[in-house]
Structure 1
Amino acid sequence: MLIVKRREGRRIIEVLQRIAHGSWSRVDAEVEQLGHRTPNTSAVERQNGTARRMNAHDARKSLAFARTLLMRRALSQLCMGIYNWCNEQRGLRIKLSEPQGRRQYRQRTPAMAIGLTSKIWSVADLLRFPVEDDDSFCQRYCSCTGQGGGFS
């Protein structure tokens, strides 16, 4: 979905909606799934903004950089993992039936909200969690042995 705003000075005088890829029926289905009535880019841009905030390599005009596609992917995956498993989100908290001292809410992460875990993970927990190797990715983008992703 592409939203084009035409301006005169500082005022927006026209907003055009165009499809970058796909069809209007696909756009309508996705918009309905997100809970919106009209197509907009707010949900996607909110996620992109969070990703840029957490990973300086994705931000524009940053002194941080990742030289290889493999490193960029690894950093993005790490930031996504920390966001979903380690950082509690205020909008996902649940009011406790009985306050515990001064605590009135149970903090939750996105992973807790959809039932993947029952606790907020530490970054150390996330880094210790075993991950399956994606040999096809490694064979395309790095010099791997192909035996479980061993890098040379």
Structure 2
Amino acid sequence: MSQDRASRFVVAWAFGPTEDEVAPEVVRLTRQRTHAQAGVPWLSDGRAAYHKAIRRVYRDPQPTGKRGRPPLVLREDVSLTQAVKRRVGGRVVGVEVRTVVGEPVACPCCVHEERLNGVLRDRLNALTRKTHAFAKQTTTWDALVLVCLFEHNWMRPHLALRERAEGLPDGRRYRPRTPAMAIGLTDHVWSWEEFLTFRHYQYQKE
């Protein structure tokens, strides 16, 4: 995932039997939903699935001036850094950072993504262990995760995203911001009433 402050905005997700099977779909959806306009700095564990998917998805036609179909070339602005944990006896004793594609990221840590995984487990009963609240249908699972991610991105201010501002009420010095505010999708923190009454286009599965 991107390591800037806006990376806390969840762009795409997928679920399946294994991470190797869903990684290509996440990479494809991420580029599609960012208008396929530029590469992003990716960070992952040591799985080869991300390397293969990024090299396939982030290729653009490179005109050569010759007849025929132009070759596909990997974008120069996309990168992949892998942080691989080294374990001894089940305990983590070190982390190896690998620059697989492009330039290395400044902070090769998955702390924000792992924290989000913890948030999802905390808020969704279907993800907790020893639960009776199973999502027995795919549509139920999709609805649960999408609502939780919307709340995370649009309704919940993140302390790390706050910004200093003047003229705030009650003598406050910082304006709270959500991930959606940080990347310019909205100018305020949404409420549940606004979410439930907002007139939006019919969702089409991509």
Regarding TM over 0.5, the answer is yes
RMSD (Å), alpha carbons: 2.9
Kindly indicate which of the two structures has a greater share of residues assigned to helix. 1
Distance 1:79 1:72 in 2: 11
Identity %: 31
Residue of structure 2 equivalent to 1:100:
169
Distance 1:48 1:11 in 2: 21
Contact 2:159 2:176 (8 Å CA) reproduced = yes
Residue 166 of structure 2 aligns to a residue whose secondary structure is: strand
Residue of structure 2 equivalent to 1:150:
none
Q: Which runs of 5+ in 1 are unaligned?
A: 138-152
Residue of structure 2 equivalent to 1:88:
157
Shift of 1:123: 1.1
Task: Give runs of ≥4 in structure 1 deviating > 6 Å.
Answer: none
Distance 1:91 1:64, change over 3 A: same
Contact 1:86 1:121 (8 Å CA) reproduced = yes
> For each residue in 1:82-134, what CA deviation from the matched residue of structure 2 results, as whole angstroms up to 9, or x when unmatched?
11111111111122224532322211111111111111111121122324222
Q: If the length of structure 2 is used for normalisation, what is the TM-score?
A: 0.50
Q: Does 1:52 align with 2:128?
A: no
Q: Does 1:132 align with 2:164?
A: no
Q: Which runs of 5+ in 2 are unaligned?
A: 1-44, 47-83
Shift of 1:52: 1.7
Aligned residues: 124
Max Rg structure: 1
Residue of structure 2 equivalent to 1:5:
86
Task: Pick one of 164, 184, 190 that aligns with 1:121.
Answer: 190
Residue of structure 2 equivalent to 1:79:
148
